[in-house]
Structure 1
Amino acid sequence: MIIRQHGDRSRSLETVNGPGWESDRILVRSDGFPYSIHITTVTAGTSLELHYQNHIEAVYCISGHGQVQEADSGAQHVITAGTLYVLNDHDRHTLYAHTDIQGVCIFTPPTAGDEVHDERGAYPIR
């Protein structure tokens, strides 16, 4: 059994930061599961162009308000607390944070835990 507390800084993996976002990696590949879990906050006013070409991501919004726009179709979806969105086809998308948004992000395959987005908006496979 693994028990972890969000924000616990006693672990070897600290919070990972990027432009407009901060992510606490609470379950990672070395834990031996087929997925990783991140608690991520996107700062109000931030837009992130993302394209997880190597991962499938599910995001459950805990708090905040924004929208996600599908790059290929242009479809826009409102994101509020209680919203789940899943990028089940490696969907290229832009996340717009109207307020600070906090979400639980689940990635498969699991991330190592120290990744930041590359120039394509993806996490590399290592």
Structure 2
Amino acid sequence: MIVRNVKDVIGTDLEVKTDTWLSRRVLLAKDGMGFSFHETVIFPGTETHIHYQNHLEAVWCVEGDGEIETIADGKKYALGPGVVYALNEHDEHWLRGGKEPLRVICVFNPPVTGLEVHDEDGVYPAMTEETA
């Protein structure tokens, strides 16, 4: 059994921060679960281009506000507590922070190693424990 507290990730190399978001990676590829599990905060007033070509992601919004816009069709969806979205077709999108920090819980398949950040195309590279 794996039991962790997200508070134990804060301030470690499992807390990854960029200009637009902060991700606390709680379960990773090395845990052998077949998925990874993160708590992420999207900073207010920011915009992040994302295109997970190597991963599927499900996101549950638990606090704050924001917006997701799919690039293929320009559709916009309001994000807030209780909203779940799934990038089941590797959907390229813009993720925007609203007036308040948007706190989300994310699941990735395949799992990430914990070192990933978006490249210039919004992609997480296909990493494995061996390449990390």
TM-score by length of 2: 0.91
Contact 1:69–1:75 (CA under 8 A) maintained in structure 2 = yes
2-structure distance, mates of 1:10, 1:65? 22
Contact 2:36–2:108 (CA under 8 A) maintained in structure 1 = yes
Shift in Å, 1:85: 0.3
Contact 1:29–1:35 (CA under 8 A) maintained in structure 2 = yes
Q: Which amino acid aligns with 1:30?
A: K
Question: Deviation string for 1:63-100 (max 9, x for gaps)?
Answer: 01111001000011110111000000000000111121
1-structure distance, mates of 2:112, 2:97? 23
Is 1:5 matched up with 2:34? no
Alpha-carbon distance change, 49 to 12 in structure 1, aligned in 2, over 3 angstroms? closer
Secondary structure, counterpart of 1:7 in structure 2: helix
Q: Which amino acid aligns with 1:118?
A: D
Q: Where do 1:41-80 residues align within 5 Å?
A: 41-80=41-80
Give the 4+ runs in structure 1 shifted more than 6 A: none
- What value does the CA root-mean-square deviation take over the aligned residues? 1.5
Which segments of 5 or more consecutive residues in structure 2 lack a partner in the other structure?
Answer: 128-132
Aligned residues: 126
Give % identity.
39
Shift in Å, 1:10: 8.4
Structure 2 equivalent of residue 16 of structure 1: 16
Secondary structure, counterpart of 1:23 in structure 2: strand
Question: Deviation string for 1:24-49 (max 9, x for gaps)?
Answer: 00000000011001100010001111
Secondary structure, counterpart of 1:116 in structure 2: coil
Structure 2 equivalent of residue 117 of structure 1: 118
1-structure distance, mates of 2:68, 2:10? 34
Secondary structure, counterpart of 2:26 in structure 1: strand
Contact 1:60–1:83 (CA under 8 A) maintained in structure 2 = yes
